[in-house]
Amino acid sequence: MITLNNQSTNAKRGLTASLAGKLAIAALLVAAQPAFAEDQKAVPKQLAAVGSLKIDNLSVAKAPPVDAKRFYVIDPGHFNMTSQTYVMGANDNKLQLHGLIDGGKLPHVMSSAKFVGMANTTYDRIAHGKRDDYVRLHDTQTLEPVADIDIPEIRFLTGLMERTASLSVDDKHMLIQQFSPTSGVGLVDLEQKKFVKTIAVPDCYHIFPAAKQNFFMHCRDGSLLQVSYDNQGNAKQKNTKVFHAENEYLHNNPYYSNSAGRLVWPTYEGKIFQAKLTDSGAEFLKPIEIFTDKEKKDKWGPGGWQPIAFHKERNEIYLLADQRAKWTHKLPSRFVVVADGTTGKRLRRIDLKHAIDSIAVTQDKNPTLIAASIEHKIIYTFDAVGGKQLASMDEMGKAPQIIVTMDK
């Protein structure tokens, strides 16, 4: 990660870009005129400093240690062949950009205190040719790769759905959804740094890990499939009861906590299904209707690409919502409705004052609400309790789409 006096604001980013441009021009002039370069032993004054920035202040820095305010923003660039993941922090009511991690097409990014996990796909002719799927683990401070694991070409490449790949609860395995030619889940041993096998599963989607090498998936009949597996990928499977009706359509980016086993899943109309998932099975909680009958008549509903977040200690559900027409559940929203995770009682409503596509909440005692606008390429932070906007950062790539916070 390259830093210039730890600068991260727009003006300072512009200054860095200006410096890079002037250095590049200077390099071309020197290459074209070697005699001139030989004669000039001293660094030209105009290159020695740009404003108050000195060249000898250029250094390679580390990101700060991981804490509860660390988060990652995945920018797939509207299905571009390459992507970027922004490594960010929200300490001291500010936004910090710690660095970038490059990735392939529609990567899955997973947070851990030990490493940043990424499941990637690239092609040897950029957008054509031989496909290569692989897993990379990155150091959380240098952001350099610490492991590169080849896997079969199995990744489910679709619009980013956070839970079609996941770390196991103990961070020892990565689980990756296979869609074609058959349904399956690829098991990657991160300690041995090898692909183990693809576990055959029925037509079920999303991966919700539980303790003792278990995971759950959502099946077409409205049940969850529980899969327990050993280190060789041998698996046992069983289905839970059906917990929602066929016409209760679920958003494809639910909230799930690996550490708490808490699943919070909204429908297009704002009904919230919840479950606690353990190695013993699934405990389904009473569904919550987040909107009143009057609000439903006024066409209030969830909307956005990543529309729901949850704070474990406070037991609060955060739902991105707005007044909207039917089938506009992927369009951005301006408001966040906060409700008690047990009773569904409305606690507050936060006016974000911006069109927001994705939200997440940090898990500390003074939580930060993080919001991303794909269209405007801006990341905002808010006091999750008081609702006040704290900070923003623009020029965030091409399409900042998915926010990944620390779970533990």
| Residues 284, 243 contacting (CB under 8 angstroms) | yes
Q: How many CA atoms lie within 13 A of 255 on its CB side?
A: 30
- Sign of the torsion angle spanned by Cα atoms 178, 182, 185, 187: negative
Mean pLDDT of the chain: 90
Q: Is the pLDDT of residue 32 over 80?
A: no
Cα separation of 219 and 237, whole Å?
A: 13
Q: Tell me: pLDDT of 4 over 90.
A: no
Please say whether the beta carbons of 13 and 395 come within 8 A. Answer: yes
Average pLDDT for residues 354-376, to the nearest whole number? Answer: 98
pTM: 0.86
Please check the confidence at residue 9 and state whether its pLDDT lies above 50: no
Q: What is the dihedral of CA 157, 163, 165, 168, to 10 degrees?
A: 180
* DSSP state, residue 155: B
Is the distance from CB of 169 to CB of 175 less than 8 angstroms?
no
Give 289-340 pLDDT, tens digit per residue.
Answer: 999 999 999 999 999 999 999 999 999 999 999 999 999 999 999 999 999 9
